[in-house]
Amino acid sequence: MSLSSPSPCVSCGACCAYSYDWPEFEEEDDLDGVPVEMCDCDHGRMKCVGDRCVALEGVIGQAVRCAIYAGRPNVCRRFLPGTDACTQVRAYFKLPALAAEPPQATWA
Ligand code: SF4
Ligand code: SF4
């Protein structure tokens, strides 16, 4: 996939809807980009509805976006397409594995 291709994440979203306790904030997270109503601050993570992060918009496996993309937590920034973890969560939603992406490729 060339760098000009759209990120596979924009038609996926699986990692954002896989677990009610993910993503967890990290110590170095700047939470200014996380609206208070989206923060499960008592547990140090994003609020979820079921297993789905409240910031995820759209339909998994079709078209999605992160409503707080610019201010998303570090753990989200590090979750890259084509990794083993990506393959695992995509498989949970019956989405095929991706070829590994260069590190800079992520949501767009
Ligand atoms: S990192 Fe992988 S699982 Fe997460 S949205 Fe992108 S393609 Fe989907
Ligand atoms: S904050 Fe955005 S990127 Fe992170 S899990 Fe929620 S929707 Fe996905």
Please indicate, yes or no, if residue 106 is contained in any of the structural domains: no
Q: Is the torsion defined by CA of 45, 49, 51, 57 positive or negative? A: negative
User: Ligand 1: distance of its center to the CA of 107 in Å?
Assistant: 8
Please indicate, yes or no, if residue 6 is contained in any of the structural domains: no
What's the domain count of the chain?
1
What pLDDT, on the 0 to 100 scale, is given for residue 102? Answer: 59
Please indicate, yes or no, if residue 3 is contained in any of the structural domains: no
Please indicate, yes or no, if residue 80 is contained in any of the structural domains: yes
For 32, the token pair is 């200014």
Please indicate, yes or no, if residue 29 is contained in any of the structural domains: yes
Q: Which ligand is nearest to the CA of 81?
A: 1
User: Ligand 1: distance of its center to the CA of 24 in Å?
Assistant: 17
Tally Cβ neighbours within 10 Å of residue 25: 19
Please indicate, yes or no, if residue 97 is contained in any of the structural domains: no
Residue range(s) defining the domain that contains residue 55:
11-92
All residues at 6 or more sequence positions from 38 whose CB lies less than 8 Å from its CB, including other chains:
46, 47, 54, 55, 67, 68
Using CA atoms, how far apart are residues 2 and 7, in angstroms rounded to an integer?
Answer: 10
By the 8 A CB rule, do 73 and 46 touch?
yes
User: What is this structure's pTM?
Assistant: 0.89
Across the chain, which has 108 residues, the per-10-residue mean pLDDT values are 73 97 89 94 96 98 97 94 96 93 54
53 lines ligand 2 (CB under 6 A): yes
Number of residues assigned to the chain: 108
What pLDDT, on the 0 to 100 scale, is given for residue 100? Answer: 73
